[in-house]
Amino acid sequence: MKLSLIKGAFLSTLFISSSIIAKPNLEKGKRLYLANCIQCHNRDPNLKGSLGPEMVDAPLEVMTSKVMTGLYPAKLPAGYVPKRTTKVMRKIPKLQKDIPDIYAWVQSVKKNKKK
């Protein structure tokens, strides 16, 4: 009796934590990238697009700042160098909760991972 209670509590903890720590949805990230980013960026995030640069080297923090404000973060992450000095990108804040999925997809297709 006691044991099955403990087992039940353990299993429900496992269940709850696996649904909170959700895995990134790469399919969704790709779909949103193609729908929202390739007017300016390349279909292949490793390459320059018509207006926007390649974005595989931008950390999540930088992508979040670009998408939420249009701007690079005021304090850049150590070792990261922006590809441009321009301020052309517009913010797309409706994508806030989807940025981790877009980021995960971009990183999943990144070439030269060691750099």
Site of interaction with ligand HEC (CB under 6 A): 36-37, 39-41, 51-53, 55, 57-58, 62-63, 66-67, 82-84, 86-90, 92, 95, 102
C-alpha of 8 from chain center: 35
CB of 45: closest distance to ligand HEC in angstroms? Answer: 8
Rounded Cα–Cα distance for residues 28 and 73 (Å):
25
By beta-carbon proximity to ligand HEC, the closer residue of 7 and 91 is 91
How is residue 115 written in tokens? 């750099």
Nearest of 106, 113, 112, 111 to residue 26 by alpha carbon: 106
CB of 20: closest distance to ligand HEC in angstroms? Answer: 25
CB of 21: closest distance to ligand HEC in angstroms? Answer: 23
By beta-carbon proximity to ligand HEC, the closer residue of 30 and 67 is 67
By beta-carbon proximity to ligand HEC, the closer residue of 18 and 86 is 86
Nearest of 86, 88, 107, 87 to residue 33 by alpha carbon: 107
- Other Cβ atoms closer than 10 A to 21: 7
CB of 3: closest distance to ligand HEC in angstroms? Answer: 50
